[in-house]
Chains A and B, each alone.
Chain A
Amino acid sequence: MSRKARVIHGCEVAGLDVFVPVVRLLSGEEPSRQIAEFGRSVGIPLLALGVFLLVWAGVASQIETSIGRVPGPAAVWEQGKALVGDHYAERTKEAQFYERMEGLKEKYAEEGRPWKDRRYSGKPTFLDQVGTSLATVFAGFVIASVVAVPIGILCGLSPTFYAAMNPLIQIFKPVSPLAWLPIVMIMVSALYTAENPFFEKSFISSAVTVALCSLWPTLINTAVGVASVEKDHLNVARVLQLSRFSTVRKIVIPSALPFIFTGLRLSLGVGWMVLIAAEMLAQNPGLGKFVWDMFQNGSSQTLAQIMVAVFTIGIIGSLLDRMMITLQNAVSYDVRSS
């Protein structure tokens, strides 16, 4: 492969197809076609986004609610900047607090008075909430994957095991996170009784709820991928007399990998969607709680703040998806997905 071909291939695997025309253009390949291509893949989406913002601005200014006028794009943007600003202000305050504490501690030591460490008790900022949400969704996603991939492999390998699992899968798959959460919270309260818990209970509850709702796509896709391993490939293993374990490790899992990653991608998507609801209900510090708190506030800023949250949720969700597509492309051996 030439260097150009490698760069283009890299772009495609990373899901950055948009830049392929740029690479081609820079290498002087059919300039007019590449410009047209770039216009379609970048210009048109930008244009559509512009139209959306205009319509939003136009419609928003017409609607009056009990807590003021619906904010337009500009107000939401300002609110976003304010929320980020708050974060840094809060961080500065925190740093100052600890600085003051250090000073006090020294003074106490000099005076021979006993000292007890105190933690800064400022409320979590919007960015903190985003961080918590990401941590929660990843925790849930990891739990889901660790459970779903092995079970999926067993389901795919053994029709008997699949027959045993199938009713459970059918029954539990459609259950909403809102139904799981109370059960999970009660169970976590009963079972998770560490003295000085490293994780908050609310964090565990949200993560487990995310896992319960998001493990199904991975489980089902893994099972399908394993079951649809080519008979011919298994015949290769049989001729070589690969052990059962080697066959699974060297033939079955690699051949099911694209399916498994498709499942993981869907799972992460579901998990992220479920998380917001779970956090709202579990009062786990995260985006869901942020939205809920803002809603309870009912200030003139509420709508703009929630809209910032909506955009953040959307953008993070699609970034997570992009990330999974990249992984998926990296492991898929014959078909390149979108």
Chain B
Amino acid sequence: MSVLPELGGSPRPTPPAFFEMNGVGKSFGPTESATEVLRGVNLEIREGEFVAIVGFSGSGKSTLVALMAGLLDPDQGSLRILGEPVTGPGPDRGVVFQNYSLLPWLTVRENVLLAVDQVFPKKSAVERADHAEHYIEMVNLTAALEKRPDELSGGMRQRVAVARGLAIEPRILLMDEPLGALDALTRGTLQVEIERIWARDKKTVVLVTNSVDEAVLLADRIVPLKPGPRASLGPSFPVDLPRPRDRKALNGSVTFQRTRNEVTQYLIEMQSRSTPAMSALGRSLPDLEPADLRPPRASFRS
């Protein structure tokens, strides 16, 4: 197992950190009986990089995303974007929430438009409408423009959430299991779509996923999150595969196989090292079981 140190071995001079987390920790609950979900999380992301974070269910992935978005304040450590400390949420860090977080009383168009109107107040109303529709078209939902979330399938809702996240054109897009509820086929289509959008805009993307395959297919670098409590990030696994990546061709690729096996191997090892009580809870490797169709509603209190 070749475990590379973070950003190590790169012959190029390291560009300034676009986004960095230093010794970040987060606990929930009253101080006496707090559960420490994350501890000592370090992460550095370069501009334009596509980073995938893989981890077990309940290990703290959504908590990590909320911290990066500024929706939660860390108990220890610091987060910086371009050297500036993160003090709260903002549209420079777009979030695609795990549970879509669409507003149920608004149509698809209105949901995206709400974000666009807020983030581009200088554009004319017509420009904003076009802008919103453009991103809705990108996720193939033009036919559902006037539908409300309760008339959409789970996968369609996730696509709306992705469109909304993209439409505000954030500097960094945080996606929390954005394709979790999709069938394999749609998932594949959207993976291609995400890669295409990323390649076009060279946006910095953090993708949280429970599928190692998806991570290898899309990311420049995979960072596993160790099982909680007190989860921290494992070593980075760079993905040395040419782009655009073709899923079919990749299946035969030795590099693809090797990277996937390394990451999987690492996760399994970490899993068996965590307390037996945790294993007894029946946690298995997430990408070996069907994706959790109805993810628990995470709620963040700041």
Cβ of B104: which chain A residues have Cβ within 8 Å of it? Answer: 255, 333-334
- Contact between B299 and A239 (Cβ–Cβ < 8 Å)? no
- Contact between A235 and B105 (Cβ–Cβ < 8 Å)? no
- Contact between B301 and A231 (Cβ–Cβ < 8 Å)? yes
Interface size range on B against A: 20 to 34
- Contact between A239 and B90 (Cβ–Cβ < 8 Å)? yes
Partner of A233, one of B101, B168, B301: B101
Chain B nearest CB, measured from A101 CB (Å): 56
Known: A231-B301, A333-B150, A334-B150. A239 touches B105 (CB 8 A): no
- Contact between A235 and B97 (Cβ–Cβ < 8 Å)? yes
- Contact between B103 and A239 (Cβ–Cβ < 8 Å)? no
Task: Give complex CA distance A83, B31 in Å.
Answer: 73
A33 in contact (CB, < 8 A): no
- Which one of B46-54, B78-86, B114-122, B286-294 is at the A interface? B114-122
- Contact between B95 and A239 (Cβ–Cβ < 8 Å)? yes
Known: A250-B114, A333-B105. A240 touches B300 (CB 8 A): no
Interface size range on A against B: 10 to 19
Chain A nearest CB, measured from B177 CB (Å): 14
A214-238 interface code vs B (CB 8 A; 1 in, 0 out): 0000000000000000111101101
Cβ of B114: which chain A residues have Cβ within 8 Å of it? Answer: 240, 250
B94-118 with Cβ < 8 A to chain A:
94-95, 97, 99, 101, 103-106, 114-115, 118
Cβ of A255: which chain B residues have Cβ within 8 Å of it? Answer: 103-105
A317 in contact (CB, < 8 A): no
Task: Give complex CA distance A254, B107 in Å.
Answer: 13
Cβ of B235: which chain A residues have Cβ within 8 Å of it? Answer: none
A242 in contact (CB, < 8 A): yes
Cβ of B229: which chain A residues have Cβ within 8 Å of it? Answer: none
- Contact between B103 and A235 (Cβ–Cβ < 8 Å)? no
B297 in contact (CB, < 8 A): yes
Task: Give complex CA distance A233, B71 in Å.
Answer: 12
Chain B nearest CB, measured from A204 CB (Å): 37
Task: Give complex CA distance A257, B105 in Å.
Answer: 10
B175 in contact (CB, < 8 A): no
A241 in contact (CB, < 8 A): yes
B93 in contact (CB, < 8 A): yes
Of all chain A residues, which has the CB nearest B88? A238
Cβ of A23: which chain B residues have Cβ within 8 Å of it? Answer: none
- Contact between B103 and A241 (Cβ–Cβ < 8 Å)? no
Known: A231-B300, A235-B89. A251 touches B115 (CB 8 A): no
Cβ of A232: which chain B residues have Cβ within 8 Å of it? Answer: 97, 99, 101, 297-299
- Contact between B103 and A233 (Cβ–Cβ < 8 Å)? yes
B238 in contact (CB, < 8 A): no
B77 in contact (CB, < 8 A): no
- Contact between A240 and B101 (Cβ–Cβ < 8 Å)? no
Of all chain A residues, which has the CB nearest B119? A240
B160-208 with Cβ < 8 A to chain A:
168
Tell me which of B88, B91, B115, B118 has the highest count of chain A C-beta atoms within 10 A of its own C-beta: B118
Chain B nearest CB, measured from A257 CB (Å): 7
- Contact between A239 and B99 (Cβ–Cβ < 8 Å)? no
B222 in contact (CB, < 8 A): no
Cβ of A233: which chain B residues have Cβ within 8 Å of it? Answer: 101, 103
Chain A residues at the B interface, C-beta cutoff of 8 Å: 230-233, 235-236, 238-242, 246, 250-251, 254-255, 257, 333-334
Give 10 A-B pairs besides A241-B118, A333-B105 with Cβ atoms closer than 8 angstroms.
Answer: A232-B299, A235-B71, A236-B103, A239-B91, A240-B115, A240-B118, A246-B118, A250-B114, A333-B150, A334-B150
Closest 7 CB pairs of A and B: A333-B105, A232-B101, A231-B299, A240-B118, A238-B89, A333-B104, A239-B89
